[in-house]
Structures are given as C-alpha cells and as structure tokens.
Amino acid sequence: MSEDRRLAVLRAIVQDYVETSEPVGSKALLERHQLGVSAATVRNDMAVLEEEGLIAAPHTSAGRIPTDAGYRLFVDRLSTVKPLSGAEKRAISTLLDGAMDLDDVVDRTVRLLASLTRQVAVVQYPSLTRSSVRHIELVPLGGTRLLVVLITTTGRVEQRVLETGIDLGEPAAERMLASLRSDVNGATVGRTLADAAGGLGELPTQVDPAARGLLAAIAAELTEVLVEQREERVVVAGTSNLVRAGEDFPTSIGPVLEALEEHVVLLKLLGTVSEQGDSVAVRIGAENPYAGLQSTSLVTTGYGAGSDHVAALGVVGPTRMDYPTTMAAVRAVATYVSRILAE
C-alpha cells in the first residue's frame, strides 16, 4: 500500500471537488487523473483516507468530500502556489498604480482582491501599532483646548483634542508650547508609536516644569491612540460573492455576513495571523475561532513597507476553495500594495 499514491488520491479528490462542487467517486477520479491503478484500488485508498479523517461521505452511496483536516493536509503538503497569469499581474499593478492617497489604495486593493479571487476580500488599514511617528503637531484651538495631530510614516493622520486647563492664549503659554513642540518631536520622530510613548516618558525632567502636566497628558493620549483598537479599520468587499458560493454553507450565508460586519473580530483575526512570519496563512473551517466563520476559510498575509508588516489583508471564502490560486492572489496583492506604500 503506497502512502504516496494515497496522498495523490487525496489531492485529486480535493481538486475535483473544488472544481465540480460535487462529491467525487472512484470512477470519476480515474477518468480525470492518470493514477495508473484501478477503481477498486482507489476505493481501498479512499477507505483508508476516510478512516484517517481526511475525507468523508455525505451519505452512504455517494462520493467523498474532503474534511477540514483533508484541506489542511492538501494546503500544507500537496499543493504548490499557482503563479498568476501575466494579465493578472499587469491588472494588479496598473490598478494600484493609479491610486491617489491611502484611502484610495486601500479601497482599490480590497476591490481588486475581491474580483481577483471572486471571494470576500478584507483589508486592514495600515496599523498604528507598527508604524512610526513622522511628526507631532500641537495646535492651540483657542481657550484652553489643544489639538494634538499625529502623522505616521504610513501616511495616517490621527487627531485628539486635549483639555489642558491652561489659557493657551497667553504669551508664556505660547512659548511653552513652542518649546514643547520641538521637544516632543525630538523625542518621538522616527520611532515606533510604542517607542515614542516611552520617549515621552523620559522627557519631563528636561522641560519647563509648567509643561509637565501637559506632556503627561500628551503621552497618555499617544498611548491611548496606540492601544485603542477601535481606531483600527478594516474594509470589506465582494460580499456578493458569498451568494454564488451559497450552497457551500451548511445553514446559510447569514452568519457569515454577520461576522463580516464585526470589524473588531476581523481585526483580531487579521492581527494574530499577520504575526506568523512572511508567508500566506490559511485557517480552515473549524480551525477558526469565531463561530460565524466556522464553515469558512481565511487566507491571509501581512503587508506593508519593508519586512516589518504594518497590516494584514486576506480573503474569506468557503472551505471548498481553490487554495493554490487564492493564496497566489493574496500574496501577489500584498506584495504589490506593499510596494506602493513604500512609494
């Protein structure tokens, strides 16, 4: 009994099932693949695969369907990422090259990924947590209120209004602000947000004592922005593709749509995934922690300038998915959008 051939059978089953969306039987397999053995042998192999939990039969006299474990094995050991066609590559680069600003880049990316994979695409906005400070500006708003503007290397701008308790209109306050402005920038520019908050922590002893309270408040705001997940955003596109794949979902696509609206959940999923190194990560069916997505697979990867990923993007689809092509598309889009972001 050849282990290799059994895996070849599994591969064939996955490929056929993904293509036809119908349980595949021993005979159909022989017609479409050159396995060099008879149907009976294939049946024996399938029996073993079923025992191992890699495939299952929806009912007695029907073909086999890959289980989550079967897909897992396929993705890990039996598939090679299928390269994109030249036309696809060209489409990617021309579309993304036309983007005007960060919003536009994200918008185009998510649509592109959705149409490329014909599935639901999810793109996270470049995350504050991993980007670094380009500039911090302090703007008196009149009265005692101060606007703090944070500009990151990823082109993102965040702002907060601070109640200082000091009348900022006075000359002394203006001078203090000016020195504070240069001190704060000196201590933060070029550092990651996490580092920058630390950098601010070291400052107070050096600056005008009157400004210490203010500085602490600014540092607090900064770390709040840093920690605050709520400010992170994801964009979703291609939900209508779920309809086409509707039969693949046991109950209905309702729970999936609900899950896709829970951006907090999506962020968490994208976040944990993007820590797993460079490669494309795949979460299959029940491997997925979130209930609404247990009958879906996620194909995700990180992206961003350089090797330090600042955000993640990916695709949500039925477990019955063409993993090789999807993974190729996700990887390619991530690469291109990273290049764009690096300017």
Long-range contacts of residues 168-172, Cβ cutoff 8 Å, at least 24 apart: 168/140, 168/141, 168/142, 168/143, 168/144, 169/140, 169/142, 169/143, 172/210
Show Cβ contacts of residue 261 under 8 Å, excluding neighbours closer than 6 positions.
none
Residue 106: contacted member of DNA, a copy of itself, none (CB under 5 to 8 Å, by partner type): none
Show Cβ contacts of residue 209 under 8 Å, excluding neighbours closer than 6 positions.
none
- Return the number of the residue (6 or 156) whose C-beta is nearest DNA: 6
- Does 27 bind DNA (CB under 7 A)? Our answer is yes
**Locate tokens 């099932």: which residue?**
17
Binding segment for a copy of itself (CB under 8 A), chosen from 11-19, 145-153, 271-279, 325-333, is: 145-153
- Does 46 bind DNA (CB under 7 A)? Our answer is yes
Residue 40: contacted member of DNA, a copy of itself, none (CB under 5 to 8 Å, by partner type): DNA
* Shortest Cβ 14–DNA spacing (Å): 14
Member of 17, 18, 26, 67 binding DNA (CB under 7 A) = 26
Q: What's the angle, vertex CA 165, arms to CA 164 and CA 171, rounded to 5?
A: 85
- Does 243 bind a copy of itself (CB under 8 A)? Our answer is yes
Number of residues that bind DNA (CB under 7 A): 27
Q: Kindly write out the interface string for residues 15-44 of this chain, putting x where it contacts a copy of itself by CB under 8 A and - elsewhere.
A: ------------------------------
| H, E, C per residue of 151-215 | EECCCCEEEEEEECCCCCCCHHHHHHHHHHHHHHHHHHCCCEHHHHHHHHHHCCCCCCHHHHHHH
Residue 137: contacted member of DNA, a copy of itself, none (CB under 5 to 8 Å, by partner type): a copy of itself
* Shortest Cβ 333–DNA spacing (Å): 36
**23 in helix, strand or coil?**
coil
Member of 28, 30, 257, 305 binding a copy of itself (CB under 8 A) = 257
Residue 49 carries which side chain, given as an amino acid letter?
A: L
Which H helix or E strand runs over 95? helix 86-97
> Number of C-alpha atoms within 13 angstroms, CB side, residue 313?
33
* Shortest Cβ 26–DNA spacing (Å): 4
- Does 56 bind DNA (CB under 7 A)? Our answer is no
Member of 19, 62, 77, 261 binding DNA (CB under 7 A) = 62
- Does 104 bind a copy of itself (CB under 8 A)? Our answer is yes
Burial zone of 88 (CB within 10 Å; 0-12 exposed, 13-18 middle, 19+ buried) = middle
- Does 144 bind a copy of itself (CB under 8 A)? Our answer is no
Q: What is the dihedral of CA 202, 208, 214, 219, to 10 degrees?
A: -10
- Does 147 bind a copy of itself (CB under 8 A)? Our answer is yes
Please name which of 288, 304, 301 lies closest in space to residue 330, comparing C-alpha atoms: 301
Residue 254: contacted member of a copy of itself, DNA, none (CB under 5 to 8 Å, by partner type): a copy of itself
Separation CA 213–CA 285 (nearest Å):
51
Residues within window 195-214 making contact with a copy of itself, judged by CB under 8 A: none
Q: Which residues bind DNA (CB under 7 A)?
A: 1-2, 5, 23-28, 36-41, 43-44, 46-47, 50, 57, 59-64
Binding site for a copy of itself (CB under 8 A): 103-104, 135, 137, 139, 141-142, 147, 149, 151, 157, 159, 230-231, 237-240, 242-244, 252-255, 257-258, 260-261
